Structure 1
Amino acid sequence: MKQVLRIASLSGLAMSAGCVNTQPNTFTFTADLPPDFAYEAAVYYVPAPGETCTVETRYNKAPVFNREWRKAYKPDSEIVIRRTRMGCPLVISRIELEIYSAYGKDWSDISHDSANVVIRDELEAQYKGMFSEAGESTFYGQCQWLFRTSGKPRILRKILDCKKTNPQGELGRGRPFSAYTLDQLPGKTVRMKIKLADEERPAIGDTWVKVPNGWKRCLGKHFEDQYAFCYGNYQDFSGFQMPDGQRCTIYPGCTE
């Protein structure tokens, strides 16, 4: 009798195990970025489909990945798909991404631009990212440095400008972006692949003049002129200061 009960008990456990959902509750987000670039990812959640509960925004945000990217950066982030907060079942809704890079050593010599991943219960086919047989989906973008001067010393500052592209590198409209449905994500990998444009360009038009070996800064009305548009004067130029304090007359080579 004991043997029969033991077999029945084991059979019941096996049947129970067979009913458990074995799908992973996470997926991996990763990025291929240019040298000295990093991303920061903030993950947001909403009540699961069919739920009527609500959770304040401060409770539906997961810890930010790579918040201290200048000190410790990890390209792979394991992201939870479903979680419960304040008794409310939640599902991932979006990942807000910031792409960072530093152009100088000072804490303020950095710039960033945004990218996004959106997750929905359902999506129209044309908006839905696709996964390979290996379980990976990649979306693409390109970042470009824009340069300008600011302040009375005309210190060079740089701005990061990122746009989405197709796999062939052709620029599209808007920031790097992809979208998926909840049922696509368990156990998969979403990869953001960003390249850096070969050339930098002025952030503001009609302020620099292209010359054979770089760019020269128009003088404007006088050196203290903060806007310093060229206005057709392509003969009078001013020097400027690099973030490290070096005085220059041409960018990026510094000296002609």
Structure 2
Amino acid sequence: MKSLFKSPVLGCCLVLTAGCATSQPNTFTFTADLPPDFTYQAIAVYVPAKGETCTVPGGRNTAVGYNMKWRGNYQPNAEIALRRTVSGCPLVISRIELEIYGTYGKARGDFGADIASVFIREEVEDQYKSVVNEAGESTFYGECQQLFRTSGKPRILRKLLNCKTINAQGERGRGQPFAAYTPDQLPGKTVKMHIKLADEERPGWGDTWVKVPNGWKRCMGKSFEDQDAYCNGNYTEFSTFTMVDGRVCTIYPGCTE
């Protein structure tokens, strides 16, 4: 992707220097509107403020995590600091690294994941700069599609997650969901990530499932033990597969024909 930014560093108004406003809040709220059974995890990354020559030993404590225990203690709202001081070094926020999780079963590994990002830079090109409305809110959008496949000798159904940016009209882009702001846009404001789920699931990669009127059927491949099991022109021999709840099925998503 072409660089979103005109400068790699943050502006002075996030630190208390002469000529900069000091009465603005030092935090903003990040939140997410997600489909059912979806959660997110966020890591706010900080770098030395503009003009600072200090460093943090080992880079320790220069990132703050939110929803790190997303399985059992998920909170959609996170209050994120714009500036922090670590080991005597003034830091400013540079980006938020986001992991989006879509859970489809009860086992610990029954989830798919993809990424999103929020960037904060001193200058952002107009075509990439996110807008904060008069109510102090800004929303960026994404669409996640679940991609199904089979894994292991029992051919257990697993799902991957593929998330792309979309605009407010729902038009899908090529990159992951993202937003970009300048520091002065954020004090006291709310940034929301709005993720919708695609209407249809699809196979994780091509020539492994066959579309039929009421779903998808898994190609047999060379044998049931064939882990790749590409169709290779054989669209008449299919295999069973096992759902995460233990059901043995012949068609997805309905299980039985």
Q: Same fold (TM over 0.5)?
A: yes
Residue 217 of structure 1 pairs with residue 203 of structure 2: no
CA distance in 2, matches of 1:170, 1:57: 39
- Please name the residue that 1:153 is paired with: 154
- Please name the residue that 1:188 is paired with: 189
CA contact (8 A) 2:131 2:138 kept: yes
Q: CA deviation at 1:20?
A: 8.0
- Please name the residue that 2:63 is paired with: 61
Which residues in structure 2 correspond to 1:166-185 (within 5 Å)? 166-185=167-186
Q: Report percent identity of matched pairs.
A: 69
Query: Deviations along 1:201-247, whole A, 9 cap, x unmatched?
Result: 00010000000110000001111111111111110000001112110
- Please name the residue that 1:5 is paired with: none
CA distance in 1, matches of 2:95, 2:30: 12
Query: Deviations along 1:160-212, whole A, 9 cap, x unmatched?
Result: 11000011111101100011111111001111000000100000100000001
Q: CA deviation at 1:107?
A: 0.6
Which residues in structure 2 correspond to 1:1-256 (within 5 Å)? 21-55=22-56, 56-62=58-64, 64-256=65-257
- TM-score scaled by structure 2? 0.90
- Please name the residue that 2:15 is paired with: none
Gaps of 5+ in 1: 1-18
Q: Which amino acid aligns with 1:61?
A: A
Q: CA deviation at 1:59?
A: 2.3
CA distance in 1, matches of 2:161, 2:144: 7
Q: CA deviation at 1:251?
A: 0.3
SS class of match (2:184): helix
Structure richer in helix, relative to its length: 1
- Please name the residue that 1:15 is paired with: none
Q: Which amino acid aligns with 2:160?
A: I
Q: Which amino acid aligns with 1:92?
A: I
Name which one, 1 or 2, has greater alpha-carbon Rg. Answer: 1
Gaps of 5+ in 2: 1-19
Q: Which amino acid aligns with 2:94?
A: S
Q: Which amino acid aligns with 2:85?
A: T
CA contact (8 A) 2:37 2:104 kept: no
| Counterparts in 2 of 1:20 and 1:161: CA distance versus 1, 3 Å | closer
CA distance in 1, matches of 2:129, 2:235: 49
- TM-score scaled by structure 1? 0.90
CA distance in 2, matches of 1:66, 1:161: 21
Q: Which amino acid aligns with 1:59?
A: N
CA contact (8 A) 1:49 1:121 kept: no
CA distance in 2, matches of 1:222, 1:168: 45
CA distance in 1, matches of 2:21, 2:55: 27
CA distance in 1, matches of 2:225, 2:102: 29
CA distance in 2, matches of 1:207, 1:35: 28
- 4+ residue runs over 4 A deviation: none
CA contact (8 A) 1:238 1:249 kept: yes
CA distance in 1, matches of 2:199, 2:129: 30
Count of paired positions: 237
CA distance in 1, matches of 2:185, 2:234: 57
- Please name the residue that 2:10 is paired with: none
Question: Over aligned residues, Cα RMSD in angstroms?
Answer: 1.2
Q: CA deviation at 1:57?
A: 2.8
